[in-house]
Amino acid sequence: MSISQTVNGALRKVPAWLLYIVGPIPAFWYLYLGLTGGLGVEPIKGLEHALGLFGLKLMVAVLAITPLRKFTGISLIKFRRALGLMVFFYIACHLLVWLVLDVQDLGRIWADIIKRPYITIGMLAFVLMIPLAVTSNNWSVRKLGPMKWKMWHWLTYPAAVLGAVHYVMLVKGWQLPPLYYLGIILVLLATRMRWNQNRVAAANR
């Protein structure tokens, strides 16, 4: 039996619903840290950034599932919905901390969304994820039909790129970590495009 078969066999025993229980734990842990000084002397920014970064990491994990299967045969497909919903959960918490604890003022929130490109872009990424979260159930797949459903869920890609761009833009100067994330996301998306390019190249031959 190959390694991928062994791994897939073991994963079959892990129920996907476990993620809905384990997934939010870091959020509560960050909140606890923020309340007890564990996020440093500026816990509002600390919590906001920790939640956003965790959401971005989960997004990378979601995007890695298809290439992982393609290149290693290991399939995590059954966890993808739960992981995707966790991305939404973390980014929603990130947004909530920004609204309630950080900016604190409705007028200013609106002004920031309109005037600050990195916030506009972050907000857009979040808005793109709303239909994804809403349709992440079997009923929606049936209702929309698999083709339409897939089309909607293509929005994951622009949401991921915009999320990473938001991170690149918010730091001072060209710092490396945000660029790593953007780079990884672009590479993961490129693994999906290559197949098409090969097909185009084959057709042109």
Partner 1 sequence: MAGRWKNDLKWSDVTPHTEYLNRRQLLAGAGAVALGGIAGPAFSAIETVPSVYSSTEEPNALAEITAYNNFYEFGTGKEDPAANAHMLTTDPWSVKIDGLVDKPGNYDLGDLLAGVTMEERIYRFRCVEAWSMVIPWVGFELATLLDRVGVQPSAKYVYFETLVRPEEMPGQRRALLEWPYREGLRLDEAMHPLAILATGLYGDEMPKQNGAPIRLVVPWKYGFKSIKSIVRISLVDKQPEATWNMLQPREYGFYSNVNPTVDHPRWSQATERKVGGGLFAKRQDTLMFNGYEKEVSGLYAGMDLTKNF
**Contacts with partner 1, residue ranges (CB under 8 A):** 34-35, 40-45, 47, 101, 103-105, 108, 111-112, 115-118, 169-176
Residues in the chain: 205
Q: How far is the CB of 32 from partner 1 (least distance, A)?
A: 11
Q: How far is the CB of 183 from partner 1 (least distance, A)?
A: 16
Q: Which is nearer to partner 1, 25 or 41 (CB)?
A: 41
Q: Which is nearer to partner 1, 11 or 170 (CB)?
A: 170
Q: How far is the CB of 177 from partner 1 (least distance, A)?
A: 9
Q: Which of 19, 17, 56 is nearest to 163 (CA)?
A: 56
Q: How far is the CB of 126 from partner 1 (least distance, A)?
A: 18
Do residues 35 and 28 touch, judged by C-beta distance below 8 A?
A: no
Report the SS3 class of residue 173. coil
Q: How far is the CB of 43 from partner 1 (least distance, A)?
A: 5
Structure tokens that stand for 184 in this block? 């990884």
Report the SS3 class of residue 139. helix
Q: Which is nearer to partner 1, 41 or 201 (CB)?
A: 41
| Angstrom distance (rounded) from CA 60 to CA 70 | 16
In the chain, which ranges are continuous DSSP H helix? Answer: 3-12, 18-22, 25-36, 43-72, 77-96, 106-115, 117-134, 138-144, 146-153, 156-170, 176-204
Q: Which is nearer to partner 1, 49 or 57 (CB)?
A: 49
Q: Which is nearer to partner 1, 100 or 186 (CB)?
A: 100
